[in-house]
Structures are given as C-alpha cells and as structure tokens.
C-alpha cells in the first residue's frame, strides 16, 4: 500500500497514512548516544552510501563554504551540512494525483516531498552548543528547502529531538515535509491573521512581539528576534521565536538576521538544555504558503518540549491542560540562558 492522505469524515483535518514509514530503522534502542564501536549511524560521515545522494551539500572551500550535490554514484564525505531525500518518506513526489471526493471517505494520493537536513558531521551536535557558523549553515539549509520545495502548497520544516519527541535517529537532523495542501494549523493562523488585519488594520504577530518584549513571559531578544513563552502555552516550557521585523517567510532573512536567528537559537536551546537537562522537544516553523499572496503573515518558530503526555482529554477535545504557567517557565528559561 502506498502513502495516502485521508480527510476526517467531517472535520477539515487530514491524516497522512504512511505505511512506508513503519519500516524505518532506529538507533535509539538502549543507546542514548553513539559509541565508538557503533558505526551504523546512516547520517555520520563515512556512511553516506547508506542514504540517497544529497540534493544539497555545504562543503568547506577557500572562501568559506560552497554548495554542491552528490551524483547518483558518488558521495561527498567532507560536508558540513547534508540534505537528502528521506528513504522512508511520508509523502513522495509522484506526478499523478488521484483525488477521490467520495462523500465521507475523502482521500488523495500521498504526494509531496520529504527531506532530511543533516545538521552537522558531528553526531551529537546540539543547537544549544553548536558554533554560530554551523547554525547559520543550518538556517541557510532551511531557506534552501523552502526554495527547493516551492512547487508544493506548503513546506513544513521541523525538528524532533529525543526518542520521546518522535526522532528515530539520534544524529542531529531536521526534516522537511512538503504537502499538497495547507495544513490545518497554518490555515487557522492565516485565517485569524486575515481577520485581525481586517478589524484592527495591523499584523497580530507584530502586536504580540510588542506585548511580550520585556513582559513576564519574555525570555531573550537580540537585534532581530524575540523569544517568549506564549500566553496560552499548550506544552510546559513551550516557547516561540518571532522576528521583530514583519516578514512572511524565512527567505526574507538578510545576513544580519540570519546570524541573529542562529544566535537566538543557541541561546534558547542552550537555556532549555540547562534548565531541564536536555529534554526531548520538537519544533516547527510556521511560514507563508507557497501559492498566493500571504504577505500579511508573520513567520515564527514554535518549540514544544515533550515533558507531558497528550492523553484522553487532549486527544478528545484539542484542548490542553498545561501544569506549568508560561510566566514561571519563562523565568526559569531566562535564568538558565548560556553566556554568549
């Protein structure tokens, strides 16, 4: 059975039924991190043949870094960041789209793209301790992913850290899934943004930045970005990173902002690791979709530490119980910021 996307009987909620992904390998069983004897990590340098050819590589060069690609038969080994198609893709780039609008049983083919961004040759690289130059390459790879998959409706960039957060391999990596429709969360945010713009005449996220800067939920800010625990945090220690300047996509980052974004990533993930002994977490970017005019949107990164389990109440209501007030979480994250 190939991957497909099914819509809920009634709700505007789509689920990817990804049978292919069930076969993917894991290195987490009893092994929190790689040991010298364990050479089986498919993302570690030297093991490039275990994965498909890279569609993008950052390789060191005389004047910094240059971009390269693997050929079908050869693999570059001295890379700094390596972007590859996911071998166990949730969505695959096929041409024919079988769209069945069959009343209550709506489905469409699981078309899209699924990529992996290997963030460093260093297996245990962590955004809380990585060199700024390396983080900037990762941010550049995120920007390139948005560009590479711009034919699809939406490009979701995300990162899972730790087995409890859904990562199947422990090597530092992010993922990109390009979808043939705008996911519900993003479409809800777009709609709310449009409504706010219509009634208030401004961008709600610009207003949120103004409210949260220096307030009780504030965590960190630099010349481009502000980090805070959101007012109605769903997860304990949830935080968001939002650009201060109104921007609808990561592709609008200039060189200074790219550096500032890398710096705030390091500050916030360093703080999260310090405060809670490196907990599992996921994060995801919300950016403007690819087709249409979404300049009113304000991109941001949402970080979800995995410290509690979504259970019966949350699953049945989409309403959450968070035992950690965002004000307390922000205070503790502020106190745990690393010296940069």
In the chain, beta strands by DSSP E: 4-7, 14-17, 56-61, 64-68, 81-85, 99-100, 107-109, 113-118, 154-161, 173-179, 218-221, 225-228, 239-243, 281-286, 300-305
CB of 202 to Zn ion, least distance (A): 8
Nearer to Zn ion, 41 or 307 (CB): 41
**Does 203 sit near Zn ion (CB under 5 A)?**
yes
Q: Which of 41, 67, 143, 307 binds Zn ion (CB under 5 A)?
A: 41
**Does 206 sit near Zn ion (CB under 5 A)?**
yes
CA distance 35 to 208: 45
CA distance 97 to 82: 30
Nearer to Zn ion, 194 or 331 (CB): 194
30 burial (CB, 10 Å; 0-12 / 13-18 / 19+) is exposed
CB of 242 to Zn ion, least distance (A): 8
**Does 258 sit near Zn ion (CB under 5 A)?**
no
66 burial (CB, 10 Å; 0-12 / 13-18 / 19+) is exposed
Nearer to Zn ion, 109 or 161 (CB): 161
Nearer to Zn ion, 229 or 337 (CB): 229
**Closest of 298, 318, 302 to residue 310, by C-alpha:** 318
CB of 206 to Zn ion, least distance (A): 3
Nearer to Zn ion, 44 or 65 (CB): 44
CB of 307 to Zn ion, least distance (A): 20
Interface region with Zn ion, contact rule CB under 5 A, candidates 16-24, 123-131, 136-144, 249-257: 123-131
Q: In 94-233, which residue ranges form alpha helices assigned H by DSSP?
A: 132-148, 184-200, 204-212
Q: Which of 3, 43, 54, 230 binds Zn ion (CB under 5 A)?
A: 43
CA distance 15 to 6: 5
Q: Which of 114, 266, 286, 306 binds Zn ion (CB under 5 A)?
A: 286
**Does 123 sit near Zn ion (CB under 5 A)?**
yes
CB of 335 to Zn ion, least distance (A): 26
β partners of residue 324? none
**Closest of 233, 209, 208 to residue 330, by C-alpha:** 233
Q: Which of 6, 7, 21, 44 binds Zn ion (CB under 5 A)?
A: 44
Q: Which residues here bind Zn ion, judged by CB under 5 A?
A: 41, 43-44, 123, 171, 203, 205-206, 246, 286, 298
């Amino acid at each position: 059975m190939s991957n497909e996307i099914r819509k809920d009987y009634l709700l505007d909620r789509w689920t990817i039924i990804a049978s292919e992904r069930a076969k993917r390998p894991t290195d987490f069983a009893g092994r929190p991190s790689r040991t010298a004897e364990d050479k089986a990590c498919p993302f570690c340098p030297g093991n490039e043949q275990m994965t498909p050819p890279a569609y993008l590589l950052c390789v060191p060069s005389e004047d910094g870094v240059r971009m390269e690609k693997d050929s079908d038969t050869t693999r570059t080994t001295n890379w700094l960041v390596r972007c590859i198609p996911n071998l166990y893709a949730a969505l695959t780039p096929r041409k024919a789209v079988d769209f069945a609008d069959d009343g209550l049983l709506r489905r469409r083919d699981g078309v899209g793209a699924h990529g992996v961004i290997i963030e460093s040759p260093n297996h245990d690289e962590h955004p809380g301790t990585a060199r700024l130059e390396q983080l900037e390459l990762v941010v550049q790879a995120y920007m390139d992913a948005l560009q590479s998959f711009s034919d699809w409706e939406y490009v979701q960039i995300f990162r899972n850290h730790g087995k409890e957060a859904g990562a199947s391999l422990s090597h530092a990596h992010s993922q990109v899934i390009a979808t043939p429709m705008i996911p519900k969360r993003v479409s809800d945010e777009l709609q709310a943004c449009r409504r706010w713009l219509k009634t208030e005449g401004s961008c709600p996220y610009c207003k949120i930045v103004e409210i949260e800067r220096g307030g009780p939920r504030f965590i960190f800010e630099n010349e481009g970005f502000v980090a805070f625990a959101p007012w109605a945090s769903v997860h304990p220690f949830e935080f968001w990173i939002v650009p201060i300047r109104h921007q609808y996509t990561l592709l609008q980052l200039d060189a200074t902002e790219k550096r500032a974004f890398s710096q705030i990533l390091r500050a916030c993930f360093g703080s999260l690791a310090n405060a809670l002994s490196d907990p599992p977490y996921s994060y995801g970017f919300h950016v403007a979709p690819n087709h249409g005019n979404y300049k009113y949107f304000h991109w941001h990164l949402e970080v979800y530490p995995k410290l509690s389990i979504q259970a019966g109440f949350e699953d049945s209501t989409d309403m959450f119980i968070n035992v950690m007030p965002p004000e307390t979480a922000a205070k503790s994250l502020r106190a745990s910021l690393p010296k940069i």
